[in-house]
Structure 1
């Protein structure tokens, strides 16, 4: 007969604390290898001395290797992480929160990644890894997948492992380009994911925001027309959610428009739509890509966003796109619970 974690925690609380901490340290090494003790201490918010003690114990157990160039996880360590994954998910209380949040928001599913992406790169990498894992499980042969841009989705793209599991996959940008950083454009992210999945990809050589008259003219160009038809008939959509003020600035909206958006109480943005807290559309940018109405008919939609500051934005967007699987971090999940009056203790 097995012993539950709750019983272990009640009987030997220090063992439960050690398990959580060592699991986090092992996870951090896995995500950041090779990593030195100082960097590990900063990522895990522990002292360097404590990091030394814990990593020496992990090394003695054969879970990591310590080299002059940094620490690496071993095959045994990776097996331990996989074996404990579901258990730790319950230990952190995520399973209950996921169910309650999905019910409260009326969406398909919620998946929570540990930590706060605003505090460390490891937490952002973990969100990317969790999201990539969920997406891989949802892909089927013959899928056309659209992705948007941004730092979060770039992290997701980088987290995909090279694989040839599915046939006839195509990955396309879900919108035109935003801003000046090519590394986080939807074209770049679509290309990275396509390479990882051994899939085909299309590129949309258009900025996200164009004068409507110019946009209508360009849309008649045969190649653009063909790509847009593909984008608007995808099987899966992967998108990120932004804070309205940040996205308005990134899109280069004029100050009077930004002031107007703020006055109307905008908190979140997705696909050029700006939403207030109740989820009402308060402004729409003229963008190139999938529209809100088109999103509602897509079979599989995955929204990805983390950080407590995005909780209101997430909630506003989810009130409009109910057929969504939301992947978020612990920090945003906790704030969503607070906003929705959900008690998880």
Structure 2
């Protein structure tokens, strides 16, 4: 039996095409707001003339508000977006991609965001918003949330709001140390921002991201660090990204001889200090202070967030050894690369 969407595709393809275009424009405004018309036109690849007529339509329907700072989706527009989401995912084929990706990666849940974050910055914001929404569904009572560093996790922090926690108690802790990389995307910074935006609390771990075993042992004897590491081990929710192997190695100012080792071993991805090849085998392990991969089976909820076609190999490789109850939040760019390349 044909679904209603399939019937509509046969009888009213033009209507569905217009609906899909307007949904994507309204959705882009939502993730980029406040946004000007020229910036939006350049981002989504429409001429300003065509976009001008669509903006006028949204304005007449009270779906957007236009302010000096730019366009924003109105409350009515947000309601329309939420009600259309499931239908539009079916029309665009995202629902089917999610089903296929779950099978390919052997995961219980996959959420795919439209677009490719390699090409459009607003898609990274969409990944952050979806992660924030999914995490909110997991909160029960007291929560310790361990968060890794990276630009995607920073996007998640940007999407948190004061009403996020409700009556839940939130404690954000860094999944690992982070001294030595860009301050804005360090786990400590991201945890601080998440706590500030939700009214929760956070603890910092002021140790280098990469340490020798001897130094690691000396660090863990410090009472303050020992306490924070204990909290990290008690986390019931973990949020983490999946990095491209070489990009992560360079970001961490890795020694040239180690980079040569990683290249020679054909590493494609990195997570929790482990570099792995396309078969999911760990080819290099960085001693890190904080959460270790062997700690993950004891974590109730794991959200892995990574997007962009360039991350496809890293995502696929990491998921070969990942906890199967992990929730993968990714985008169309990565999903299509994994499924069809």
Give the structure-1-normalised TM-score: 0.94
Could you report, residue by residue, the CA deviation over 1:134-155 in whole angstroms, capped at 9, with x for unpaired residues?
1111122112110000001100
Is 1:335 aligned with 2:337? yes
SS at match of 2:215: helix
Q: Is the 8 A contact 2:179 2:207 kept in 1?
A: no
Could you report, residue by residue, the CA deviation over 1:55-105 in whole angstroms, capped at 9, with x for unpaired residues?
111112221233454222222111111111221122222222212211221
Is 1:44 aligned with 2:48? no
Aligned to 1:32: 32
Distance apart, 1:198 and its partner CA: 2.3
Could you report, residue by residue, the CA deviation over 1:280-336 in whole angstroms, capped at 9, with x for unpaired residues?
010001111111111122111110000011111011111111231100011101111
Is 1:323 aligned with 2:325? yes
Matches within 5 A, 1:1-345: 4-163=4-163, 164-177=165-178, 179-321=180-322, 322-339=324-341
Deviates more, 1:147-156 or 1:7-16: 7-16
Distance apart, 1:166 and its partner CA: 3.8
What CA distance in whole angstroms lies between the structure 2 residues aligned with 1:162 and 1:330? 30
Q: Is the 8 A contact 1:178 1:251 kept in 2?
A: no
Number of aligned residues: 338
What CA distance in whole angstroms lies between the structure 2 residues aligned with 1:104 and 1:264? 24
**CA 1:39–1:265 in structure 2 vs 1: closer, same or farther (change >3 Å)?**
same
What CA distance in whole angstroms lies between the structure 2 residues aligned with 1:296 and 1:98? 24
Q: Is the 8 A contact 1:63 1:76 kept in 2?
A: yes
Q: Is the 8 A contact 2:115 2:332 kept in 1?
A: yes
Distance apart, 1:264 and its partner CA: 0.8
What CA distance in whole angstroms lies between the structure 2 residues aligned with 1:178 and 1:110? 32
Name structure 1 gaps, 5 residues minimum: 340-345
Q: CA RMSD in A?
A: 1.7
SS at match of 1:313: helix
Name structure 2 gaps, 5 residues minimum: none
What CA distance in whole angstroms lies between the structure 2 residues aligned with 1:62 and 1:187? 41
SS at match of 1:283: strand
What CA distance in whole angstroms lies between the structure 1 residues aligned with 2:84 and 2:242? 30
What CA distance in whole angstroms lies between the structure 1 residues aligned with 2:52 and 2:115? 22
Give the structure-2-normalised TM-score: 0.95
Distance apart, 1:11 and its partner CA: 1.7
Q: Is the 8 A contact 2:109 2:326 kept in 1?
A: yes
Q: Is the 8 A contact 1:171 1:190 kept in 2?
A: yes
**CA 1:72–1:169 in structure 2 vs 1: closer, same or farther (change >3 Å)?**
closer
Distance apart, 1:188 and its partner CA: 1.1
SS at match of 1:328: strand
What CA distance in whole angstroms lies between the structure 1 residues aligned with 2:220 and 2:90? 49
